[in-house]
């Protein structure tokens, strides 16, 4: 079932979301200072492309630098990305077929708000 949901996800919205995160990651990697944000954006892009069967967990080795980076990310990108996920999730939940896709969009909100210090892992 995860495979079918992922295929529907990629066709309807996952490809465009992943493309947006990839573009943001490339822009962030142009400057040396924002490379950690670019790497986080690439991780989110991979997650946005194929979200079903995966989840986000906290990294144990994340320190104060990732906390500070998350504050900066939240102000400049995280809040706006999460608003986009909320609006898209609500729009997808209007139809019965789109409800699982809307829930997946809501599942991406925490990682889009604070991506540093998190890791995306496969579910068993």
Q: Is residue 21 part of a domain?
A: yes
pLDDT tens, position by position, 64-113: 888 898 998 899 888 988 998 999 999 999 999 889 999 999 999 999 99
Q: Is residue 123 part of a domain?
A: no
Burial readout 9-40 (b: 16 or more C-beta within 10 A, e: otherwise): bbeebbeebbebbbebbeebbeeeebebbbeb
Q: Is residue 124 part of a domain?
A: no
> How far from 37 is each of 21, 75, 102, 105, CA to CA, in Å?
11, 13, 25, 21
Q: Is residue 122 part of a domain?
A: no
Q: Please tell me the total count of domains within the chain.
A: 1
Number of C-beta neighbours around residue 124 at 10 A: 4
pTM (2 decimals)? 0.84
pLDDT tens, position by position, 20-55: 899 989 988 998 888 989 999 999 999 999 999 999
Instruction: Find the domain containing 23 and state its range.
Output: 2-117
Q: Is residue 40 part of a domain?
A: yes
């Amino acid at each position: 079932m995860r495979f079918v949901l992922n295929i529907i996800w990629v066709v309807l919205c996952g490809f465009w979301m992943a493309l947006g995160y990839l573009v943001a990651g490339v822009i962030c990697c142009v400057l040396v200072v924002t490379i950690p944000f670019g790497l986080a954006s690439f991780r989110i892009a991979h997650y946005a492309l194929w979200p079903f069967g995966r989840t986000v967990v906290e990294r144990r080795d994340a320190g104060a630098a990732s906390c500070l980076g998350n504050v900066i990310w939240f102000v400049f990108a995280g809040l706006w990305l999460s608003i986009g996920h909320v609006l898209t999730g609500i729009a997808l939940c209007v139809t019965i077929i789109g409800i699982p896709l809307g829930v997946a969009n809501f599942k991406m909100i925490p990682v889009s708000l604070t991506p540093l210090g998190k890791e995306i892992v496969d579910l068993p």
